[in-house]
Every structure is written in structure tokens, then in C-alpha cells.
Amino acid sequence: MRVKLERVAHSRSGDKGNTSNVVVVAYHPDLYPELKRQLTAERFKAFHAGVVKGAVQRYEIDALGMLNFVAQDALGGGVSRNLCLDNYGKSLASRVLAFELELPRELEPLLRGAG
């Protein structure tokens, strides 16, 4: 079954200069393995194509069911140097929640929100 990330996890963000930090946290430990398998650094960057221009590193925090993405050259030169509000880290964190995952049906009871 295909679901949006917002049903699997929530996100938080931060930004410093031209670098954005986005943390994605699985709602349930049993959802984390699929999240980890499917939301790679490459897919994160491709999903934000045109906005994230630099490298993306992914750090896995398995004990907490979290993925931390650090995206370079992602804020149009830096939040204080850019008038485009879409380039704040918060917008990257919100947008990634629309990323779609393919999950086995047996995980459906663990998902948040309506289908």
C-alpha cells in the first residue's frame, strides 16, 4: 500500500546559514525499518529537487527511530540573505511529509490519520 510519510512519521527542522537540518521520526518502532529503507539521502535530495542544490547526508539514530538529514546549499544562500520564505528549513521538513512510501498492509494499524 502506498502512503504519505505524514502517516508514518513526523518531522522537525533547523537551519544555519545555507544548511538545513531535517529530522524524521517514526511514529512506531515497527515503521522505522521501512522508513529507513526507503527515505535515503538520494531520495530526500531528489524530492527537494531545485531547492537542495548541495550534498545531503543522512544520519541514522536507530535507537530512537530517527533519520537526520543535513542538506547543504538548501536555503538559497541562507535564510537572512533570501526573501523566499519557501527556503526555510521548516518548509523542507513540512514538504518531505508528502514523500510516498510503499508499506506492507500489516503495518496499516500503526499509521496515523485517515487513509
Domain with 90 in it: what CATH number? Answer: 3.30.70
Tell me what pLDDT residue 95 has.
85
> Does residue 105 lie within any of the structural domains?
no
DSSP string, 44-66: HHHHTTTT--S-EEEEEEGGGTE
> Does residue 52 lie within any of the structural domains?
yes
> Does residue 30 lie within any of the structural domains?
yes
> Does residue 104 lie within any of the structural domains?
no
User: What are the tens digits of pLDDT across the range 55-103?
Assistant: 999 999 999 999 999 988 776 555 555 455 544 566 787 889 999 999 9
> Does residue 57 lie within any of the structural domains?
yes
Tell me what pLDDT residue 81 has.
52
- Residue 48 in this model has a pLDDT that exceeds 80: yes
| Predicted TM-score (pTM) of this structure | 0.86
> Does residue 110 lie within any of the structural domains?
no
Tell me what pLDDT residue 75 has.
67
Residue 78: give the domain boundaries: 2-98
Instruction: Tell me if 12 sits within 8 A of 22, measured CB to CB.
Output: yes
Q: For the chain, what is the domain count?
A: 1
> Does residue 109 lie within any of the structural domains?
no
